[in-house]
Each structure stands twice: as C-alpha cells, then as structure tokens.
Amino acid sequence: MKKKKKLGAVEALQKAKGSPTVAARLMGIPRTTFYSRLSGEIVDNPDWRKRRKMIPKDLSAITSAVRAGLPTKTERERLGDFKILMLDIETSPHKGWFWKLHDENISINQLIDSSRPLCFAAKYYGADKSDVRFHAEWIDGQKNMLRAAHDLLSEADAVITQNGERFDFPVLNWYFLKNNMSPPRPYKSIDLIKTTRSRFRGASTKLDYVARELGYKGKIEHEGFPLWEKVMAGDPAAQERFQDYNIGDTLLLEPIYRRYRPWIRNHPNVAAFNGLDEPACPTCGSVNLQADSWTLLQTTRRAQYTCKDCGTFLRERNEKDMLPRTRVVF
C-alpha cells in the first residue's frame, strides 16, 4: 500500500484558494507553523517564481525581499553559535476620555485602559526554512505570549529591531515586570533606526520608506486603525491580516540589516563566536579580508582591512609602526 503523499504548504494554499487558515487545517498544523513552512518552501524552491500566484500577494512580496537578503549557507556557518534574533511587536492603543481632538493633556484619571502588547513576530537571522515565530494574546493568552518573548530574548546574543530601544524593548520589559518575570538574559541591541538616523539622511526613517528606497516592496498595506479595532473585537479575519502585517515587518528587517551591516557602529563581534583562529570580520565573521591601507590613531597607525563579503572596514588590534612622538610647545 502506497503511503499518502504529505501536502506541501504551497500546494495546500492552492487547494485552499489562497486562505492560510484553511490551508493550515488541510495540513493539520497550527497556522503559525504553516507560515514557517510556507516561507521555507518559497526560499528553498528555485522555481518559486512560477508559484507566485499561489501565495497571497502582499506576503509574497515580503518573502521575495527576504529571499534576496537571506545569508548563504557559508554565511550562516560563519555565525557559529552567535544567535541574531529579529523582533517586531504590535500593541493596542491607549483608551481614555477626552474633550478636544488637538492639544489635549489627558490625565491619569481619564485613562480607561493602557496600551498592551497584542502580538509579536520573531525570526533568527539566517534560520533554515525562514522559521518565523508568531505569538498573540488571542492564540496563546497574554502571559504565554510574554513568556515566549522572554525565552527568545534570553536565547539571543543580539536582537535586530526597528526603533526597539525606544519602543519594543521598554514595552516588553514593563509587561515582564507586571507579570513578576525576571529580566531576560542580557543581549546586544541592533536598532536599525539608530543607523538610519546617524549615518543617512533620507526623507524619512520609517521602515516602509527605507524598504522601498532600497528596492523592496515595503510594509503590507492595511485599512489603518479600523484593523486594530477589529483585532481587539476578536474578528478572526482581521487577526489573520494583522498576523501577516506583523510577520511582514519582521521579514523586512533581514534584508535591510544585511545592507546596513558595514554602516552599523559598535556591531557585536560575530567573529568571537565562530571558533576560527585566523583573523575574521567582526561584523559578519568572514575571513575574506583584503589589506587596504593604514588608519591613524592618536599616536600610532594600524593596518586597515576591508571585508570583501560585507564591506566592513577593520584594523589590526596590535600596535604597529608607532609614529614618532613630537614635542608640543605651548
């Protein structure tokens, strides 16, 4: 008796006429697992463009951007044990009483309900099968969702966000505290908006603008605030669109980070985790270095190299070729 062939994510989506929820049911797996398998099939399949019509339009555009920015197998191996997590959260709005639409100072006793995390999407940089993790209060409950975020942050060595240092991290930390949870294990922050603001001057620092200017499709479009209303009211269709939107933002972080790497100041030293004895690029771990020139310090000069894989400039740690000290007369 022949074994029944397992249904693939793309094939299931085709049979479900484009509905991820129905496709997940056909495969007998949770919707979050379905998205992970779908992304994996698109990334790994060389003929994925022929199947593009089978993928929801907006999610397909985001996934194609990720495919263009995914690290190669060699690059993933260079990371060694260094785990880089990409994270994006979505929150509810504050709810309160107020009299005017503009220039209104709302006091605490006018606040009915505070903003709270609704969901988050996360993915490890270079993870096989583009394994996107999605957790939401309507799927896991708020405490389990927070535990999942806490566990992922504790496992990561570095976390990539868009404005995470001023938004995502403080919001999550506040709710960790409220739920009697300890701080996550320390991690390094790679906040892309800080690089956008400090190294470039475009018309905007928003993720959608940066993505489109760099040749990607940008964020998934939606109806705006009404989507938040429907999500909080428990509308399953709206929650599904919200999930796509959240995952789309997280997937966009990967190709943008890859383009930003040589521009990021104080990037965590990836080379310290790859176990190699030879000199390697601290940003991407590559040993493909090219001697460039000299860089001058206050009293010395050091040999300078360029990473031929990511474009980062780096210099020798050892002091070499001390410049002659000069006597300063005041």
Three-state SS across 27-80?
HCCCHHHHHHHHHHHHHHCCCHHHHHHHCCHHHHHHHHHHHHHCCCHHHHHHCC
CA 246/CA 121 separation, integer angstroms: 6
> pLDDT tens across 58-116, in order?
565 555 555 556 666 667 777 878 899 999 999 999 999 999 988 889 999 999 999 99
**Claim to verify: residue 160 and residue 307 sit in the same structural domain:** no
User: What is the percentage of the chain residues whose pLDDT exceeds 70?
Assistant: 77
Task: Confirm whether 278 is domain-assigned.
Answer: no
Same domain, 257 and 305: no
Whether residue 187 is predicted with pLDDT greater than 70 in this model: the reply is yes
Instruction: State mean pLDDT over 260-267.
Output: 94
Residues 168 and 296 in one domain: no
Q: Which residue has the higher pLDDT, 137 or 12?
A: 137
Examine residue 86 and state whether it is found in any structural domain, yes or no. yes
- Kindly report the backbone phi and psi dihedral angles of residue 237, in degrees, each rounded to the nearest multiple of 5, phi listed first: -65, -40
Residue 45 covered by a domain: no
- The answer to whether residue 280 scores a pLDDT higher than 90 is no
Q: What is the mean pLDDT of the chain?
A: 82
Q: Are residues 147 and 87 in the same domain?
A: yes
Let me know whether 329 and 225 are in one domain.
Answer: no
What pLDDT, on a 0 to 100 scale, did the predictor assign at position 56? 55
Confidence of residue 297 (pLDDT cuts 50, 70, 90): low
* 255/294 same-domain check: no
Least confident of 16-20, 45-49, 202-206: 45-49
Residues 210 and 316 reside in one and the same domain? no
Asked if residue 29 belongs to a domain, the reply is no
Are 75 and 208 contained in the same domain? yes
Count of beta carbons in the 10 Å neighbourhood of residue 179 = 12
Residue type, 138: W
Name the pLDDT band for 193 (thresholds 50, 70, 90): very high
Token pair 């005017």 is at which residue?
A: 100
Mark which of 213, 228, 263 sits at the end of a domain. 263
Instruction: Specify whether 310 is located in the same domain as 177.
Output: no
CATH number at residue 218: 3.30.420.10
Distance CA 95, CA 41 (A): 41
Q: Give me the domain span that covers residue 310.
A: 288-330
CB 310 within 8 A of CB 291: no
Rounded distance, CA 306 to CA 291, Å? 7
Are residues 237 and 297 located together in one domain of the fold? Answer: no
Answer yes or no: is 188 within a domain: yes
H or E element: which one contains 284?
none
In a domain, 157, yes or no: yes
**pLDDT given for residue 329 in this prediction:** 38
pLDDT mean over 9-26: 77
Q: How many domains does the chain have?
A: 2
The answer to the question of residue 220 being in a domain is yes
Assess whether 79 and 170 both reside in one domain. Answer: yes
Single residue among 263, 278, 301 that ends a domain in this structure: 263
My answer on whether 237 and 88 are in the same domain is yes
> Does a structural domain hold residue 258?
yes
